Amino acid sequence: MSDADGHPAQRLDDVVHQRVRLGILAVLEQADADFTYLRNALGLTDGNLSRHLGVLEEAGYLVTSKTFEGRKPRTWVRSTRLGQDALATEMAALRELVTRYESNLASAGDGPDQNPRVAG
């Protein structure tokens, strides 16, 4: 990646640049998941997960649908192509950030306690 491409932090997407939302998209990259699976896999409360799903759905990164098993409703979540692309872009940017930092450390010979702010 050349400097002309800009610092990887500039490619971070505010909607998904967040641990929980990336976790949601990472699960959905593997399979469609129901609300309960996502809540348990990510260790969230119902309300917290609902808020994150709402933000991602509004951005077009996932779609939710409701099915019924008997009289019991079940919410299924599926990522869209846009969501999959956003996850891939974000992960690539994060990997590049880490790689840049590690190579900077190696060339400077400094300790790993610099902790420069890069985003957020």
Partner 1 sequence: MSNTHASSPQEAADVLRHVESVGRHTSQLLRAFWFPLVVFGALTLASAPVQWWWPGGAVGAFWAIGGPLGGALVGWYYRNRERRLGLHHSATAYVLTAVGMLAGAFLLPAVTSGDLREVASVFAVAAGYLVFAWLDRSPGLAALAVSLAVVPVVVLMSGVAHPGAVTAVVTGTAILASGLVYRRNS
Binding residues (CB under 8 A) for partner 1: these are 17-20, 22-23, 26-27, 29-37, 41-44, 48, 69, 76, 91, 94-95, 97-98, 100-102, 112, 115-120
Q: How far is residue 45 from each of residues 21, 49, 52, measured CA to CA in Å?
A: 14, 6, 11
Nearer to partner 1, 109 or 116 (CB): 116
Separation of CA 89 from chain center: 10
**Min separation Cβ 60 and partner 1, Å:** 20
Query: Among residues 44 and 53, whose Cβ is nearest to partner 1?
Result: 44
CB of 89 to partner 1, least distance (A): 13
Specify the 3-state DSSP secondary structure of 65.
strand
Furthest-apart CA atoms within the chain: distance in Å: 63
Q: Which is nearer to partner 1, 22 or 57 (CB)?
A: 22
Half-sphere exposure of 63 (CA within 13 A, CB side): 4
